[in-house]
Structure 1
Amino acid sequence: MPTGAPRPPHPAQPPAPGWSAPGAVPPSGGPQHPGGPSSHRADPTGHVPLPPVSAPLAPAVEHGAGTGAATLAVLLIGPAGAGKTTVARHWAQRRRVPTAHISLDDVREWVCSGFADPQSGWNEHSEAQYRLARRTCGFAARNFLANGISCIVDDAVFPDRPVVGLGGWKRHVGPGLLPVVLLPGLEIVLERNAERSGNRRLSDEEVAAIHGRMAGWYGSGLPIIDNSTYDVETTARVLDDVLARAIASPPTW
């Protein structure tokens, strides 16, 4: 290339794995390589910390444009049968920017031999496996975000159970996580649960109890979508609108 000739622009690259949100303050002592030896010594599970999400990474979204090209992390909450996994996948597949879907139930079931099924009773083993799955999901979410890929995680988070509540998700993903509750009527949840099979299908009594506890999200300040009369496409569109409003005015949680 002749001296003084303009150089062609470099192709756009995704954020490096050491990404942190604009304005984030690095920890004291300077940045550390996320895969450094100290990280592995700090956690016997081999969990490698990544910078947390401190805010949705996007310019202001135009009115009526949905989430647009925003890079964001979403937690879709709902009882069994709410359709959260189907809606989350549908929303992720139809965004015009790279977006990943992570289902906590799928990650929990990575454990084959020795799987502690909560349907057999919630105990120290099922709780430990839930915590491990949530930490795995959180690490995956931050890894996607560090590389410029949005993500949506779905989980049945109870408002009355701090052990498996929003606090854990906030620790593992970051305060920029946007939680949304999907809560159709009980009769809809019962119908959808009846169509399930294997250990994903619960008894009607369990479904009713879970649904009743999920009603505690009303008054929490989190956005709630009643998708009783919506199909998947409509629910995903409403979810996108709700998230656009949450980006502009994040909920307090």
Structure 2
Amino acid sequence: MAVLLIGPAGAGKTTVARHWADNRRVPTAHISLDDVREWVRSGFADPQSGWNDHSEAQYRLARRTCGFAARNFLANGISCILDDAVFPDRPAIGLGGWKRHVGPGLLPVVLLPGLEIVLERNAARSGNRRLSDEEVARIHGRMAGWYGSGLPIIDNSQFDVHMTARALDDAIARSLASPPPF
């Protein structure tokens, strides 16, 4: 099984994915797009300074690399959870891209806490993972497009990591019973 955890910066995707992978009874890998993207050391294209051809290319390469890793883990009996800020208004590189890279059976779940929460969490970040409040608000607003998509959405505004992981388990169980329409 491969799960794709989607949400804005500060939603808790990486924290929840790590916790969820650490606490499963079956072997599970956590693959973070941001971690893979940061493998680029010299020439790293930080989108904080504006999206450009280099940052787009590095994101595309990181997604393909994550998909390749996920397929290899799955082929060897290891489940995966991936995390990425996938935008609903960019289907070719969003869910469609992830499905092409990972393969069938990918289960997307959206973490979408309130704006105040993601701003607070983002403020606690450092380095290139901390975005401006304006950028976080813009990303959060674009994520609202997931409502009505048929994908499971978890508002983890009032949840700690354990509660969010339980909500993730519930969303996965519902998705397996009735697959999402993507």
Q: Which band: TM-score by shorter chain?
A: over 0.9
* Paired position in structure 2 for 1:129: 58
Q: Does 1:184 align with 2:113?
A: yes
Q: 3-state SS of the aligned residue for 1:162?
A: coil
Q: Tell me how far apart the structure 2 counterparts of residues 156 and 191 of structure 1 sit (CA, whole Å).
A: 17
Q: Tell me how far apart the structure 2 counterparts of residues 129 and 203 of structure 1 sit (CA, whole Å).
A: 21
Q: Does 1:96 align with 2:16?
A: no
With structure 2 as the length reference, what TM-score do the two structures score? 0.98
Unaligned runs of 5+ in 2: none
* Paired position in structure 2 for 1:13: none
Aligned with 2:102 (options 131, 149, 173): 173
Q: Tell me how far apart the structure 2 counterparts of residues 189 and 163 of structure 1 sit (CA, whole Å).
A: 26
Q: Tell me how far apart the structure 1 counterparts of residues 99 and 93 of structure 2 sit (CA, whole Å).
A: 11
Q: Tell me how far apart the structure 1 counterparts of residues 91 and 163 of structure 2 sit (CA, whole Å).
A: 32
What's the Cα RMSD here?
Answer: 0.8
1:220-239 alignment to 2 at 5 Å? 220-239=149-168
* Paired position in structure 2 for 1:74: 3
* Paired position in structure 1 for 2:84: 155
Aligned with 2:42 (options 113, 116, 120): 113
Q: Tell me how far apart the structure 2 counterparts of residues 108 and 249 of structure 1 sit (CA, whole Å).
A: 33
Q: Tell me how far apart the structure 2 counterparts of residues 105 and 145 of structure 1 sit (CA, whole Å).
A: 21
**Higher strand proportion, which one?**
2
Letter of the 1:224 counterpart? I
Q: Tell me how far apart the structure 2 counterparts of residues 124 and 168 of structure 1 sit (CA, whole Å).
A: 18
Superposed CA offset, 1:52-82 (max 9, x none): xxxxxxxxxxxxxxxxxxxx10000000000
Q: Does 1:213 align with 2:142?
A: yes
Bigger relative contact order, structure 1 or 2, given CA contacts below 8 A and separation 6+? 2
Q: How many positions carry a matched residue from both structures?
A: 182
| CA drift at 1:118 | 1.1
Aligned with 1:243 (options 168, 172, 175): 172
Q: Tell me how far apart the structure 2 counterparts of residues 95 and 241 of structure 1 sit (CA, whole Å).
A: 14
Unaligned runs of 5+ in 1: 1-71
Percent identity over the alignment?
88
Letter of the 1:150 counterpart? S
| CA drift at 1:162 | 3.1
